[in-house]
Amino acid sequence: MTSESMELARILVVDDEPANLKLLEKLLTSQGYPAPVLVQDSRETLQRYQQLRPDLILLDINMPHLDGYQIMEQLKALNDPLLPPIVVLTAQLGREHMVKALALGARDFVGKPFDRVELLMRVRNLLDAQRAHRLLHDQKAALEEMVRVRTEDLNRTRLQVVHRLGRAAEYRDNETGLHTIRMSHYAARLAHSLGWSAADCELLLHASPMHDVGKIGIPDAVLLKPGKFEPHEWEIMKTHAEIGAHILGDSDSDLLQLASTIARSHHEKWDGSGYPQGLAGEAIPLAGRIVAVADVFDALTSSRPYKKAWPVEEAVQLIRDGAGSHFDPTVAAHFQQCLPDILAIRERFKEPD
């Protein structure tokens, strides 16, 4: 142990005998250790430990109020990841006492009356070991923090990529990125109302902007047609749901798996008249049923080059009228309950003038 390490070592000594405390203080300071913190009343040990956070504890066993075993129980209950080594000072060196002390966290024993040289060697060795343990702990904490920061960076980059992928489809369809932002927040709010966990709501928030990414695969002559679709054009347009599912599919990412499910299912209808699979009722994934309501409401209340925005009241009425036919009636009911929050989201992410 270096002289610098010795000068920084924090030692706590707990003994009900004043003479023992003075002897240990003199012995440690004579070897270059800083003055140890001395505790005579064992009831003060826990408080002094929390104040000092020592590197080593010298602990007597037989004391009034709280004995050494009870103190070790208190220290163990703290679940301190860097609990310092405890050296038991005792005249009771029987096997039963040693096993009990070891079970409670003692690292070494010194018999009373103790040999000074022996005690100092044990103190030095245990402080060396504790210093190495602290260095490893600090290094591990630093590495964990680096991993956490890097993981956050990767997640942030991933979310930026998927949001821009969703926005690419919106721009092809004469829409803006604010549509995807609004409808994804509507969807997350509905999911929360339906009892989804915070983590699942956040996943839906980030997956739903890609609901129409399949429009990338629709020819401009169909996608950008200003008038009503001919039957064959409508069939081409409907393929964007499966195209989107295929673009996002075959991934081990929870985010992309959910996005693929939404892309395929958000045009299904509760009565089975939707597309691409004609699913009905609860056979439609719940995420798709949620996004269906969020997407239709925002599409209706947003202006486009080919249409004016509907008044909010008329769009809300359409959702209400479509419950049980187009929309899941439970999701539609939660939409009504969440309407004040949904309108606040709409205002927060409104289109610029």
The CATH number for 63's domain is 3.40.50.2300
Of 171-185, 214-228, 339-353, minimum mean pLDDT range: 171-185
Angle (nearest 5°) at CA 125 between 120 and 127: 95
Specify the higher pLDDT residue, 297 or 125. 297
Give the strands of the sheet with 11-14, arranged side by side: 37-39, 11-14, 56-60, 86-90, 106-111
**pLDDT for 171 beyond 60:** yes
**pLDDT for 166 beyond 80:** no
Residue 90 sits in the same domain as residue 17: yes
| pTM for this entry | 0.60
Residue 162 lies in a domain: no
Of 172-176, 193-197, 299-303, 345-349, minimum mean pLDDT range: 172-176
Q: How confident is the model at residue 55 (pLDDT cuts 50, 70, 90)?
A: very high
Share of the chain above pLDDT 90, in %: 52
Owner of token pair 């923090």: 145
Q: How far is CA 33 from CA 5, 27, 39, 267, in A?
A: 9, 9, 17, 75
pLDDT digits (tens, 9 = 90+) for 3-25: 545 557 899 999 999 999 999 99
Span 285-296, average pLDDT: 97
Residue 154 lies in a domain: no
List residues bridging with 232 in a β-sheet: none
**pLDDT for 332 beyond 70:** yes
**pLDDT for 167 beyond 70:** no
| Paired tokens of 319 | 């959702």
Domain holding 329, by residue range, is 173-348
Answer whether 325's CB lies under 8 Å from 314's CB. no
**pLDDT for 216 beyond 70:** yes
Span 30-46, average pLDDT: 92
**pLDDT for 264 beyond 80:** yes
Residue 163 lies in a domain: no
Residue 266 sits in the same domain as residue 311: yes
Q: How confident is the model at residue 93 (pLDDT cuts 50, 70, 90)?
A: low
The tally of domains found in the chain comes to 2
Residue 114: its pLDDT value, please? 80
Q: What is the CATH number of the domain that holds 258?
A: 1.10.3210.10
Residue 24 sits in the same domain as residue 137: yes
φ/ψ region of 250 (left if φ > 0, alpha if ψ in -120 to 50, else beta) reads: left
**pLDDT for 288 beyond 70:** yes
Q: How far is CA 217 from CA 199, 233, 236, in A?
A: 31, 14, 10
Residue 55 lies in a domain: yes
Residue 200 sits in the same domain as residue 62: no
Residue 140 sits in the same domain as residue 188: no
Residue 21 sits in the same domain as residue 64: yes
Residue 225 lies in a domain: yes
Residue 242: its pLDDT value, please? 95
Residue 174: its pLDDT value, please? 57
**pLDDT for 324 beyond 90:** yes
In angstroms, how far is CA 300 from the centroid of its own chain?
36
Cβ burial, residue 120 (10 Å; 0-12/13-18/19+): middle
Residue 134 sits in the same domain as residue 75: yes
**pLDDT for 155 beyond 80:** no
Residue 117 sits in the same domain as residue 56: yes
Q: How confident is the model at residue 240 (pLDDT cuts 50, 70, 90)?
A: very high
Residue 158 lies in a domain: no
Residue 41 lies in a domain: yes
Residue type present at position 330: T
Residue 114 sits in the same domain as residue 7: yes
